[in-house]
Chains A and B, each alone.
Chain A
Amino acid sequence: MKLLREWSRNKYIYLMLLPVVIYYVVFLYFPMYGLQIAFKNFSPAIGIWGSEWVGFKHFVSFYESYYFWRLIRNTVMISLYELVFGFPAPIILALLLNEIRKRVFKNIVQSITYLPHFISIVVVAGMMVDFLSGDGLINQLTSLFGIPSVSFLIAPEWFRTIYVSSGIWQGIGWGSIIYLAAIAGIDPSLYEAAKTDGAGRFKQILHITVPGIMPTIIIMLILRFGTLMAGGSLEKILLLYNSTTYETADVISTFVYRRGLLQMDYGFSAAIGLFNNIMNFILLVSANTISRKINNTSLW
């Protein structure tokens, strides 16, 4: 009786939930069920059920393949480059922006540096391909100083630098928002007190602003560790790499894309994807748990 009453009182709420639950089940949980092909000799003609189990065969052959360590290295290196160079950039920008006295100038800088965030990755990559080509703008400029031309996009040693620096170009302004918000939340009386104690601006930055945003920095850093095995953005790498740069550019997700969708080696590539997802899962959950312990902030 009680159940029935609750049901009739909330029937519209359940009606709203219905399409939502269907969406998550069909588009997100069905694929998880389909993950079993990682342990099967999957053939689309027979279907998931009919295909025979092969245990960890795909995982073993991935581990034994000569590209295993290359993929792991490239995946981790892209993330590490982003961490070392990409992570501090917005923090530094936020600190410097905060020191700009003229409001109008500050607003202009903010508006302009946020802009690239909204430009599609295809357009950004398209501009890069154009500027970085053997006869592109960058080489035209460096040749003025007598520097020999470099074909950046087919040079494996340039890939990470190009990937990460363009990422900074696109994301530095946008990434600074959260730190600017943290700076805005610092108690102004701290600065007043420091001034009466005779602290100059550099001392104020070092002893008030930086410690004030430290909790935010730590949280962002921990969450960043959760993506260590994600290996950057699949879309962007697909747009910028080519077979001559696989040596440094090929990461796990691009490899899965080629083996799975282009060569239709479904079982094997699903296994590699699963391996990567489990690594990501472990890292993300640990990062979240730590972040929650330290600062009561987490993704959920």
Chain B
Amino acid sequence: MKPRIPLGERIFDTTNSLFMLGLIAVTLYPFLYVLFASFSDPSELIEHRGLLLAPAGFSLESYKYVFENPMISTGYMNTLIYVVAGTALNLTLTSFAAYALSRKGVRFVGPIMFGIVFTMFFSGGMIPTYLNMRNLDLLDTRWAMILPSAISTWNLLVMRTSFAGIPVALEESARIDGANDFRILFQIFIPVSLPIMAVMTLFYGVAHWNAYMDALIYLRDRDLYPLQLVLQEILISNNTDSMMTSVADVDKGLIQETIKYATIIAATVPILLLYPFLQRYFVKGVMLGSIKE
């Protein structure tokens, strides 16, 4: 026997589903608009008013400018360097810290933990941090994009909790076989914590890909600019001139708009391609963080 669903609940269910569809539309449409606009013919796009449900005309012109623009290709290269080198350093130092600080019977663990956690609550602030970087001669170097964010304290705490849950027996049997702590970390702890290592890799990797503030503060040399800083110039400061040296002045205003859209797509595609992995592991990461204590 099928229970009758009361009218009120049916109305609620329908409204709820419609609301979710609306939410999907509001979330996705800005990206779709940008995608359609990026493939549009600049002169037709400028005529068009309102929503785009398909490209207005079709043109790959703007992508040509994006791919030929040296600022974007250097930006891409630099970002790749920062992502790879930065994440490698992040993972090494975070796992060192998580391992060392979750061992029993090690001296100074208490005070070191206090010193680390304290930095989550108080910091020197932007200006002293900038002056410190200057004293260290790190301004305008690639190190400026890697070293200041070498460890995220939050990630460290999550990884430490996870390492602390690994059975002591595993560690002890390896030690009897003569393994030292580096071998125990790399050959036992990391292999048994692969899911959390994946979460950490993605947390750190996406943070480096999207990093913007450090570049804004520490870098003046345009050859070192990461993609996000190049994007800021093109999207916010409206500076597309560097891309259009070969374009006649009359056409500049026209194509400027579509170049912006193509730039957004070019800068977002890597994240979108990785998104299925990102989503799965990030959600896992949020859970790990929330059940920490």
Contact = CB atoms under 8 A, between A and B. Distances in A.
Interface in B103-146: 103, 105-108, 112, 115-117, 119-132, 134-136
Contact of A126 (B8, B128, B181, B236): B236
A114 to B, nearest CB: 6
Interface stretch (A27-35, A155-163, A206-214, A243-251): A27-35
Contact of B131 (A37, A93, A127, A181): A37
B150 A260 contact: no
Given A6-B107, A33-B124, A181-B287, 14 more contacts: A12-B181, A13-B100, A14-B100, A16-B181, A24-B115, A28-B124, A31-B125, A31-B131, A34-B124, A34-B131, A105-B20, A125-B235, A173-B27, A273-B127
A19 B30 contact: no
B27 A112 contact: yes
Interface string A161-172: 000000001001
A122 B232 contact: yes
B49 A274 contact: no
Nearest to A137: B33
A187 interface: no
Interface of B: 6, 8-9, 12-13, 16-17, 19-20, 23-24, 26-28, 30, 33-34, 49-51, 93, 96-97, 99-101, 103, 105-108, 112, 115-117, 119-132, 134-136, 147-148, 150-151, 157, 180-182, 185, 206, 209-210, 212-213, 216-217, 228, 231-232, 234-236, 260, 264, 267-268, 271, 275, 278-279, 282-283, 286-287, 290, 293
Contacts of B236: 122, 125-126, 129, 239
Max chain A CB contacts within 10 Å: which of B119, B123, B216? B123
B120 to A, nearest CB: 6
A199 to B, nearest CB: 12
A256 B127 contact: yes
Interface string A211-253: 0000000000000000000000011001100000000000001
Given A130-B235, A169-B26, A270-B127, A99 B12 contact: yes
11 contacts: A13-B103, A20-B97, A24-B116, A96-B20, A120-B228, A130-B235, A137-B51, A202-B8, A202-B12, A273-B128, A277-B123
Nearest to A6: B107
B231 A270 contact: no
B135 to A, nearest CB: 8
A68 B97 CA distance: 41
Q: Which 7 A-B pairs have the closest CB atoms?
A: A31-B124, A126-B235, A273-B125, A34-B128, A12-B181, A120-B210, A16-B96
Given A23-B93, A26-B136, A120-B228, A234 B213 contact: yes
A204 B112 CA distance: 48
Contacts, number: 251
B23 A109 contact: yes
Contacts of A113: 23-24, 27
A116 B286 CA distance: 16
A140 B50 contact: yes
A109 B6 CA distance: 25
Nearest to A131: B30
A20 B151 contact: yes
A294 interface: no
A101 interface: yes
A19 B96 contact: yes
Nearest to B211: A120
Contacts of B115: 24, 29
A14 B103 CA distance: 11
Interface residues of A, number: 93
A284 B117 CA distance: 13
Nearest to B148: A27
A300 interface: yes
Contact of A277 (B107, B122, B279): B122
Given A23-B93, A122-B231, A123-B268, A31 B128 contact: yes
Contacts of B51: 137, 141
A121 interface: yes
A269 B127 contact: yes
B201 to A, nearest CB: 14
Contacts of B6: 200
A123 B267 contact: yes
B293 A239 contact: no
A206 to B, nearest CB: 13
A179 to B, nearest CB: 10
B290 A112 contact: no
A120 B231 CA distance: 10
Contacts of B210: 120-122
A266 B212 contact: no
B147 A27 contact: yes
A30 B213 contact: no
Interface string A91-114: 001001101110001001101111
Contacts of B105: 6, 10
